[in-house]
Amino acid sequence: MSLPQPPGDDGAAKSPGPAAGAETVAASSGPQAKKQPPPEKPSDVRRRSRIILSFWLIVLCLGLPIWWQTTSIYRADLPLHEMLEWADGKACRPVFPLRINIQADSLQDQEAQNLLRLTQHALDDLNDFSGHHLRLQLSPPPGHPPESSDRESALTIRLVPGDTATASLDPHEPVLDITYPPNAIPTATSSSSSLATYVAGQLRSTFAEEQATISYLLSTSSMPSESRPLGLSPESAESLAKRATRSLKYAPTYHLTFSLFTSGPLPSSWDIGAAIADYMKPVLTVLSPIHNFTIDTQVQLYATPGVPNEVLNKEDLSSFVNAAEWPLSPSIGGAPTINFVVFVGNQTIAGERAESEHANTGESAAHSWLIPQWGTIYLLPLPDGTAHLSSAALKQPLLTFTSHLLSLLGAPRSGSLPLRLSTLGRIRSADLLLRASSTLGSLARLALALPSISIPSSVADGVSTTMLHLRRACETLGGAEGLAHARVAEAEAERAFFEKSMVGQLYFPDEHKIAVYLPLLGPVAVPLVMGLINELRAWRRRRRERRERGRGKKME
């Protein structure tokens, strides 16, 4: 309590002066009997302050950084804002500009131009959905070699003079043949033409399904409403929803498994290879630009279906597959598996319900049904004792499988095959685009929600590549490379989102950390801090004394 007075400054202490007086008063407040310790050597004082200083230096320069380094969680910084923007669709609004060539060799150029303009007007009047609009252009006369613009045209309209106005889709290439009565050619001055409206209507109907699908996709995604289509009738939405649920998730590669299940020992062999080559390969080759397919086949004897009864009605169909017994394990390659099962047994389906349910074509309905996102089962009745299934016997099943394959892939149902496929490409790319961006969004939200999870750099890389490809895909939407980019983006986004190392196995809540740190840091910190404080006090006191002494000297 009382300050130890170094003997050196007795004079100072005794010397008159207000401060000194106060000093003595302060000193006298303590018990008088007390002896004062001898004054410390300045060297000791210095040493002590050095000790304390060095301790603090060690703590601050070594301890804290190491502790921080070893206990902090690495979080790579993600472009959260842009990710969320993608998720909300602000970054890109999907637009599908479709080029449509009009081949009117029989018309003069000027007439054709006029017709084109009119039709375009008509189309624009009809079109309600901004995300997806058709742009007409005149195809060069056949004399010239077709240049680049021709390639990326989605459809070509061939105008041929005829007696009545008819329209027919060419089954093998994306061409719409329209015949028109000679009087239907609009004059250069006329502002409207029946032919133009007719063509526009035809086009509209041709692309109606695609438009509906894409708008459906947009509406289900978290896109802002301004890019939404205005009207989407509930029943059409419902049917679209059903088709969306039925079709498989997009994948670059699909694995097709053809299985022959027989309830008894026979038949034990089939020449499926030939059958596939004959009846399915063509479609697969057409599909190849969008998907690749791997195929394997198997024969399984003594297979018992999941439902024992002879006649299967609707609710049996779902439980027909005996998941426990039948070796239909999905392929391990990562490619989703589509199962095509030929079941040889005496089961039959009750009535034509199957047909009404899954609008299949032809009489095969009574034998087959489609299991959404899984595949198809075909009941093949056979005479007993058939040991071998010939390729011919497999024709009908395989045709069914082919048609089901298309709907499983999510291809539109109407239109000619080439059109359907190009549409499929566009739908898929839109779908992928949306899915990837929503994945980005959820990843961003996750990173925001859990501050304690670690974000490895691989995730950051994944995100950046995703966004790069998304941007590219958004620019080149509707084309082949657009699809490719979207595909990459989607894969990358998935990979980044499902990064394993983000999920920590050990979770330490904060109270645990406190429980661990406190016993160590608390007792260590107290002496350190106290020491520092004392040292500061002593230092201030010394300074004051020095001042006093200086003052005392001045007084004399």
Partner 1 sequence: MRQLCPALLLSLLSLCVFPPCAAASASAAADYHEQLVLRPLPLSALLASFNFRSNTTVSEFESGNFRFFPRSLGQILQHAGTRELHLRFSLGRWDAESWGSRPWDGAREGGTGVELWAWLDADTDQEADHKWLTLTNALSGLFCASLNFIDGTRTTRPVMSFEPEGDHPNTSAHSMQLLYGVLPHEVVCTENLTPFLKLLPCKGKAGIATLLDGHKLFDASFQSMAIDIRPVCPPGGECVLQIEQTIDMVLDIDRSKRPRDNPIPRSLGGHELLCDTSKPYHSHDTCFPADQDANQDWSLSQIFGKSMKGTCPLADPTVPPVCLQVPESRAVYTIDGAVEIKSRDSRCFQISPESDLELLLPPPGDEAQDGAAADILPPGTPPLYAERSFTGYGQERGGVQTILRNPSPDTEVEFVYMESLPWFMRIYLHTMEARIAGHPAPSPDNHPLIQQVYYRPALDRARGTQLEVRMRIPPAATVFLTYDFEKSILRYTEYPPDANRGFDVAAAVITILDPQRNGSGRFAAYTIRTTSLLCSLPTPDFSMPYNVIIFTSTAVALAFGGMFNIMVRRFVAADEGSEGGLGALRGKLLGRLGAVAGRFKGNQ
Partner 2 sequence: MRLPNIPGFSLPKLESYISRLPLFTRAMLAAMVVFQVVGLQHSFDVRAWGALIPDEIGFQTLYRTNTFPLIHLNAFHLVLNLLTVIPLLERFESEYGTLTSLALFFGPLTTIPALLYVGVEKHILGANTPVMGASIWAFLLFGAEAIRTYRTNPYFVISTYNIPTWTSPLALLLCMAALVPSSSFLGHLVGLVVGYIWGLGYIKFLAPPEKALRWVEGKLKLPARLPYFVSVDQKTYGRFGVLPTSTGPSSASALHLRRDPRILKLPPYLSLLCIVVGVVWLFLLPFDDYSRRTYISENALLPGQVHTYFSGSDQHVFRAYKHELHALAGKSNIEFNDKLEPIVKGLGLKTARQNFTYHAAGHTLEGENLYAILQAPRSDATEAIVLVAARENVRNEVNINGIPLALTLLRYFKRWSLWSKDIILVLTPDSIAGPQAWVDAYHDAHDTYRVASLPIKSGALQGAIAIDYAQEGRFESVHIVYDGVNGQLPNLDLINSVVNIAGGQMGMGVAIQEMWQHDNKYPDRLRTMLRGMLKQGLGLASGPHSSFIPYHVDAVTLRPFGDGWQDEMAMGRVIEGTFRSLNNLLEHLHQSFFFYLLMQRERFVSIGTYLPSAMLVAANFTIMAIALWIKSGHPEGATTGADKPKRLSTQTVERDLFLPLGVVTLCQSLSVIPLYLFNHAPDNTLTPLFAVFTALNTLLPPLLSHHLTAAAAPTEQQYHLIKSFSLLLLGMFLSTLATLNFPLSLLIGLVSIPLTFLRPLSLAPSSSSSSSPSSSSSSSLMRRRLLAAAAMAAVSPPAVLLAGCALWGVGVGDVLRAAAVAWHVCGTWTQVVVWCVWWPAWLAGSVVLLGRPRGMGTGAGK
Residue among 305 and 425 whose Cβ is closer to partner 1: 305
Tokens of 109: 């150029």
Asked if residue 421 lies in contact with residue 154, where contact means CB atoms within 8 angstroms, the answer is: no
Cα angle 486, 487, 493; round to 5: 85
Residues 9-38 that bind partner 1 (CB under 8 A): 30, 34-37
Q: How far is the CB of 307 from partner 1 (least distance, A)?
A: 18
Asked if residue 155 lies in contact with residue 175, where contact means CB atoms within 8 angstroms, the answer is: yes
Q: How far is the CB of 34 from partner 2 (least distance, A)?
A: 6
Region from 30-38, 206-214, 429-437, 464-472 binding partner 2, contact rule CB under 8 A: 30-38
Is 37 an interacting residue with respect to partner 2 (CB under 8 A)?
no
Cα angle 177, 180, 182; round to 5: 145
Q: How far is the CB of 469 from partner 2 (least distance, A)?
A: 53
Crossing angle (nearest 10°) for helices 417-449 and 80-88: 140
Q: Choose the contact partner of 446 out of partner 2, partner 1, none; CB within 5 to 8 A by kind.
A: none
Is 33 an interacting residue with respect to partner 2 (CB under 8 A)?
yes
Q: Choose the contact partner of 359 out of partner 1, partner 2, none; CB within 5 to 8 A by kind.
A: none
Q: Choose the contact partner of 48 out of partner 1, partner 2, none; CB within 5 to 8 A by kind.
A: partner 1
SS3 372: coil
Is 31 an interacting residue with respect to partner 2 (CB under 8 A)?
yes
Q: Choose the contact partner of 319 out of partner 1, partner 2, none; CB within 5 to 8 A by kind.
A: none
CA-to-CA separations, 324 to 268, 320, 328, 329, in angstroms, rounded: 21, 11, 9, 10
Residues 284-343 that bind partner 1 (CB under 8 A): 294-299, 301-302, 325, 327, 329, 331-333
Q: What residues contact 263, with CB distance under 8 A and at least 6 apart?
A: 302, 303, 304, 305, 343, 344, 345, 346
Is 524 an interacting residue with respect to partner 1 (CB under 8 A)?
yes
DSSP 392: G
Q: The dihedral of CA 194, 197, 200, 204: what is its sign?
A: negative
Q: What residues contact 334, with CB distance under 8 A and at least 6 apart?
A: none
Q: How far is the CB of 30 from partner 1 (least distance, A)?
A: 8
- AA identity, residue 465: T
| Short-list 407, 487, 405, 501, CA closest to 454 | 501
Residue among 150 and 325 whose Cβ is closer to partner 1: 325
Region from 27-35, 82-90, 150-158, 295-303 binding partner 2, contact rule CB under 8 A: 27-35
Tokens of 488: 């990459």
Region from 64-72, 266-274, 414-422, 485-493 binding partner 1, contact rule CB under 8 A: 266-274
Tokens of 30: 């303590």
Residue among 97 and 527 whose Cβ is closer to partner 1: 527
Total number of residues that touch partner 1 (CB under 8 A)? 48
- AA identity, residue 18: P
> In sequence order, which ranges of 15-167 are alpha helices (DSSP H)?
18-28, 42-57, 64-71, 80-88, 109-126, 148-151
Helices first, then strands: H and E counts in the chain: 18, 14
Task: Beginning with the edge strand found earlier in the chain, give each strand of the sheet holding 96-103 in spatial order.
Answer: 132-138, 96-103, 153-161, 175-180, 166-169
When binding is defined by CB under 8 A, the residue of 25, 323, 449, 520 that contacts partner 1 is 520
Residue among 47 and 90 whose Cβ is closer to partner 1: 47
Q: Choose the contact partner of 8 out of partner 1, partner 2, none; CB within 5 to 8 A by kind.
A: none
Q: How far is the CB of 53 from partner 2 (least distance, A)?
A: 21
Is 1 an interacting residue with respect to partner 2 (CB under 8 A)?
no
Q: Residue 408 burial (CB < 10 Å; 0-12/13-18/19+)?
A: buried
Distance CA 288, CA 269 (A): 29
Q: Choose the contact partner of 332 out of partner 2, partner 1, none; CB within 5 to 8 A by kind.
A: partner 1
Q: Choose the contact partner of 171 out of partner 1, partner 2, none; CB within 5 to 8 A by kind.
A: none
Distance CA 96, CA 433 (A): 13
Asked if residue 48 lies in contact with residue 433, where contact means CB atoms within 8 angstroms, the answer is: no
Distance CA 517, CA 539 (A): 32
Q: How far is the CB of 523 from partner 1 (least distance, A)?
A: 3
Is 230 an interacting residue with respect to partner 1 (CB under 8 A)?
no
Q: Choose the contact partner of 141 out of partner 2, partner 1, none; CB within 5 to 8 A by kind.
A: none
Residue among 33 and 188 whose Cβ is closer to partner 2: 33
DSSP 300: E
* Interface contacts to partner 1, rule CB under 8 A: 1-2, 30, 34-37, 40, 44, 48, 51-52, 55, 257, 259, 265-266, 268-269, 272-273, 294-299, 301-302, 325, 327, 329, 331-333, 506, 512, 515-516, 519-520, 522-524, 526-528, 531
* Interface contacts to partner 2, rule CB under 8 A: 31, 33-34
